[in-house]
Homo-oligomer: A and B are copies of this chain.
């Protein structure tokens, strides 16, 4: 990370920032260390290879359908009566969320590095189904690890992943347990490529995932300039591991006049309620017992943002005051879902509705020429059962 930019980190050992407060690093077993160094080197080489980057761009356009639209949410804007609201429509990507851009990048990288099989973890199943789709396209076997609680609630994604040919490994729990199990699977198969689903885990994953997802922010810059003649005043995204958030804001990290807000699930708000710790490969804010022996955190309806920890770059950005982090409750998430479905005709995933809950609070008191952009990073198909269960009667 150079002195003058928040965009250039982390350092070669995976640290964001320096000294005691540095976040990130590589806290994994020896078996994986050589593999991660190899991956880092493969990554460094790949991103200097224009033909590789072109290939990524090509598939972003043709397979994923990028760029996703930047959409003026006119009804919502009028309803809230404050700021002008834009949605970055990441849910229109193939496989229905932002996750696939990262899956695509890492699978292309794995192929370039001659890997023959893939592993991934998943919370909401979006990363699993996205990686499974890309794995099918590039003809590589994939094992996805998920918690049984998540498997039950986002079953559609699991069915799709199986149709794409992926195998599912179930563990008791949710995303946290899936990540630990995925690392174990990776340790047992270090010749496989582990396709990490967010800007979490040991270096070099946070940087790789950030690199892949930061296309979101670059698109926003171009689209906002073209459509609005200016940049947004505020960027809001939900934050589980933090990949859709960093993807959105990375491009703008050195522009302090643009306010950036990440919204965690209230039950697992690592950045609001956590303390620094080292678990699952990284030093970062997290919810854990004082003695570091146990991860903590309740359960959120947003499976993809129910994570006790968070990507280390976010911990760094929090400490530096570059990004503001807030949280949203299940109730707020459901209310935001209802509002956006009925005003804009968009059935959103629950995760980005955490961002929308914050958006609603922010937009109200802003002038009409204040521009807020929300990252609408997934569709609600996977969540329909959950939504019906909780607020189905509201729609009758």
Contact = CB atoms under 8 A, between A and B. Distances in A.
Contacts of A396: 162
B347 A163 contact: yes
A159 B392 CA distance: 9
Interface string A332-353: 0000011001111111000000
B75 A71 contact: no
A374 to B, nearest CB: 15
A92 interface: yes
Contacts of A65: 65, 68-69, 89, 92
Given A61-B69, A163-B387, A395-B162, A345 B92 contact: no
A168 B134 CA distance: 37
Nearest to A89: B65
Contacts of A69: 61-63, 65
Contacts of A317: none
A258 B61 CA distance: 26
Interface string A58-93: 000111010011111001000000000000010011
A135 interface: yes
Interface of A is mostly: helix
A346 B62 contact: no
This chain's copy number in the assembly: 2
A289 interface: no
Interface in A316-344: 337-338, 341-344
A381 B163 CA distance: 12
Contacts of A269: none
Contacts of A230: none
A163 B395 contact: yes
Contacts of A156: 381, 384
Given A65-B89, A92-B65, A347-B164, A136 B381 contact: no
A295 to B, nearest CB: 32
Given A69-B65, A94-B92, A347 B160 contact: yes
A17 to B, nearest CB: 38
Contacts of A135: 345
Contact of A165 (B72, B134, B342): B342
Contacts of A387: 159, 163
Interface in A131-157: 132-137, 139, 156
